Structure formats: C-alpha cells, structure tokens
C-alpha cells in the first residue's frame, strides 16, 4: 500500500498549477481537479494526468479516495470552500488570502467542524522556510489550524 496522499486540487490557474507540480514532485497523487469551467478543468486534468475532474466541490468532498484538498481557486471563494472541506472532514491547504475581510477570516476560524481536519492558509512564496515546514508536516499534523506567511 502506498503512503502517497490522494489530492484534490480546486482551480486550474497559475497557483493551482504550481501546487499540482509540487504535489507530483513530492510523489503524491493528483486524484481529482475541480474547476468552474468544464473545458478548462478537463484540459488541466489532461495536462496533469488526473483521472477525475468536474465542477462540483461537493462531489470531490464525498469521494472517499480524496485524502486532502488544495484550494487554488479564486480568492473570493476560499473561505466558503475551506469551510466546506473542514465540515466534510478533509484536511485542506488554502492559498492566500483565506478570506476577503478580517470578519470573513474570523468567521472561518470559529466555524464548527471535525477537530481532526488540519487546515493551512499558505503564502504564495513556495520557498518560505515556514511554508516548507508546514508542507513537510502535512501528513503528521494534529487537528490544528496553522497560518503560513513570510512573517512567520
């Protein structure tokens, strides 16, 4: 049995592409991609040889084969999508910003959800030592919420 994580990537733009490349470089599995535009989502799936693709985040969240989710979607949907991932019990890495306002960020942090759903908000600076450390602990993390930014 493989220890590789089966990842669902949400989004197909530059940030999602970067996360897909990193995921593959770390010998993890891109299991599913979710996007708003069916044609662009299918093209991303083909480019990265992702077996499953579609426009429904809910479908990805009910897929038992998905171990974790990376949100590289448009900024204005991050908070809602992160909340949905946590409520579904899926660990989630959220590209910054987590929310479009301080109030949105606070409401996300206080949302009820499974205690065993680790989540991260991560800087786009892939070379940040703090972010590298958070990525390295992805599989070992307890059910905690951690923010990662160049200031950490």
CATH code of the domain in which 37 resides: 3.40.50.720
Is 70 exceeded by the pLDDT of residue 143? no
Share of residues in the chain with pLDDT > 70 (%) = 62
The pLDDT of residue 75: 73
Q: Map residue 87 onto helix, strand or coil.
A: helix
The number of distinct structural domains making up the chain is 1
Question: CA separation (Å) from 31 to 8, 20, 52, 67, 106?
Answer: 6, 10, 6, 9, 31
Which residues, 6 or more positions from 128, have their beta carbon under 8 angstroms from its beta carbon?
Answer: 148, 149, 150, 152
Look at 151 and 136; give whichever has higher pLDDT. Answer: 136
Q: Tell how strand 52-54 and strand 68-71 pair up.
A: unpaired
Least confident of 9-18, 93-102, 135-144: 135-144
> Per the domain annotation, does 1 fall within a domain?
no
> Per the domain annotation, does 85 fall within a domain?
yes
> Per the domain annotation, does 24 fall within a domain?
yes
Contact at 8 Å (CB) between 79 and 99?
yes
Is 70 exceeded by the pLDDT of residue 37? yes
- Burial of 106 by CB count in 10 Å (0-12 exposed, 13-18 middle, 19+ buried)? exposed
If residue 89 lies in a helix (H) or strand (E), which one and from where to where? none
Q: Is 131 left (phi over 0), alpha (psi -120 to 50) or beta?
A: alpha
> Per the domain annotation, does 117 fall within a domain?
yes
Q: Tell how strand 119-122 and strand 92-95 pair up.
A: parallel
The pLDDT of residue 134: 43
* Mean predicted lDDT score pLDDT of the chain: 74
Is 70 exceeded by the pLDDT of residue 24? yes
Query: Residue 66 half-sphere exposure, CB side, CA atoms within 13 Å?
Result: 27
> Per the domain annotation, does 152 fall within a domain?
no
Where do we find the tokens 């998905």?
66
Least confident of 33-42, 64-73, 83-92, 140-149: 140-149
> Per the domain annotation, does 105 fall within a domain?
yes
Domain that holds residue 13: 6-147
Query: Residue 137 and residue 38: Cα distance in Å, rounded?
Result: 33
Q: What is the pLDDT of residues 73-88, one digit of tens each?
A: 877 777 888 888 888 9
> Per the domain annotation, does 143 fall within a domain?
yes
């Amino acid at each position: 049995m493989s220890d590789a994580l089966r990842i669902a990537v949400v989004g197909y733009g530059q940030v999602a592409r970067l996360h897909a490349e990193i995921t593959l470089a770390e010998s993890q599995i891109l299991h599913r991609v979710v996007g708003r535009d069916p044609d662009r989502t299918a093209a991303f799936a083909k480019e990265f040889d992702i077996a499953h693709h579609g426009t429904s985040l809910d479908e990805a969240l009910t897929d038992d084969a998905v171990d974790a989710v990376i949100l590289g979607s448009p900024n204005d949907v991050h908070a809602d999508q992160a909340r949905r991932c946590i409520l579904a019990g899926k660990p989630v890495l959220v590209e910054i910003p987590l929310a479009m306002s301080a109030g949105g960020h606070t409401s996300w942090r206080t949302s009820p959800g499974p205690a065993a759903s680790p989540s991260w908000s991560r800087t786009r600076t892939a070379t940040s030592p703090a972010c590298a450390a958070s990525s390295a602990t992805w599989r070992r993390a307890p059910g905690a919420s951690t923010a990662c930014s160049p200031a950490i």
